[in-house]
Amino acid sequence: MTEHDWNIPEPAVLNRVRTRLEASATEATEDVLATIVSVEGNAYRRPGAKMLFAADGTHSGSLTPGCLEDALQKAAADVRDSGTIQYVTYDMMEDDDVWGLGIGCHGIIDVLLEPLTAQYQPAVDAFANREDIAVITVIDSETGVHSRGDRAYYDPVDDRFTIPAGGSDNWPEDALADPARKMATHGRSTVLTITDAGNELTVFIDGVPARPELVIFGSGHDVEPVTELAAKNEFHVTVVGFRGGIPLSERFPYADETYATSPGSIEDVISLHDRTYAVVMTHNFVDDLLTIETLLNSPAAYIGLMGPRERFEQLLGELSESGATVTASALDRVYTPIGLNLGGGSPYQIAHSIVAELLAVHNEQEPAHLQSHAGPIHGRVAAEILKEDS
């Protein structure tokens, strides 16, 4: 870990948290985890963003573009010395030069800083297993049962709360389950105040979602920049190649997984589900035909295909002649030609176009210039998600 690891993606921060927790079993790590709880006004990162501070002064991740890092480093040292959780508000609304940097940070940011202990293990375990989870932390309590820093975890799949060893019981699960599920599955975070037995309990619900899964079919050199950019944009990347003799893991070092198989045996090596984003880059008509047939019959959320629209129409014609039925809902998930029109033509420019489209679809955004956009740039905020019907 170096002091310059501020720009690593959020999954890399969580992976580092996991590594440091493993190290803490045999050594005194004294790491401090900082998480944005809420923001008001302009903010570089939104609630849920994390930064890990080590005792040697190095850090991983970022909460601001440099406005608060010195102050956060000092606060982390205070948490390390006291061994207690801290909830700190940084108000930069009055003067964005207050920290002596003047680089446009103009908002109020609430940050939770905590000693990194085994209490956080369920979160990193869920992340490693590619499972959604909500981390629920008490910010303020009038109940007499809970105190700041008390924690519970919520698993939206099993609809189950877990309390870390030594933690407080008697959580108002009925009131917390629905917002915790929404935050976990949407990857959003919020502060929520509820009334428990006539007393107010304020909690921070931090949704830690599984990484979206990108499966790339193809093993040409143009796949490499797509794997790199997708990995750096927080996708779990799998490359499936149909040509033997190619060392896929060596050619694609940014891929989390690689498999060599035949186009007719795709589902023997990977699972396709409603969180799968598939990109077909085989540049071979027969391989594309068999791959597209499998993908159209799967629940994959996104099916991107290289090449002109006419080529896809030819593929559909072949499928129709073979007796295959393609539904309208399946066609709605197909993006071809793949990518956004950014005007580029080099391998990396094409890769940027593809990954930009993946992000837009995943984040439920219509691509547009931000200068013409009114309101928050981060899409639906937690408050809007909480209002949705379960």
Radius of gyration of the chain (CA): 23
Res 7: pLDDT: 67
Residues of CATH 3.40.50.720 domain(s) within the chain?
213-362
- The two three-digit tokens of residue 42, written as one number: 């302009």
Residue in 229, 171, 236 with CA at minimum distance from that of residue 209 = 236
**pLDDT of 92:** 78
Instruction: State residue 281's pLDDT score.
Output: 97
Query: Are 237 and 256 within 8 A, CB to CB?
Result: yes
Instruction: Write out the CATH class of domain 213-362.
Output: alpha beta
What pLDDT score was predicted for residue 134?
97
Q: How far apart are CA 196 and CA 175, in angstroms?
A: 9
User: For residues 233 and 388, what is the distance between their CA atoms, to the nearest angstrom?
Assistant: 27
For residues 156-177, one letter each, b for 16 or more C-beta atoms within 10 angstroms of the residue's C-beta and e for the rest, the string is beeeebebbeeebeebbeeebb
Mean pLDDT per 10-residue section of the chain, whose length is 390 residues = 61 88 79 93 84 90 84 94 93 59 68 93 92 95 88 95 86 95 93 89 94 96 97 95 92 97 96 96 96 97 96 96 93 97 94 97 87 66 66
Which pLDDT value is given to residue 6?
A: 61
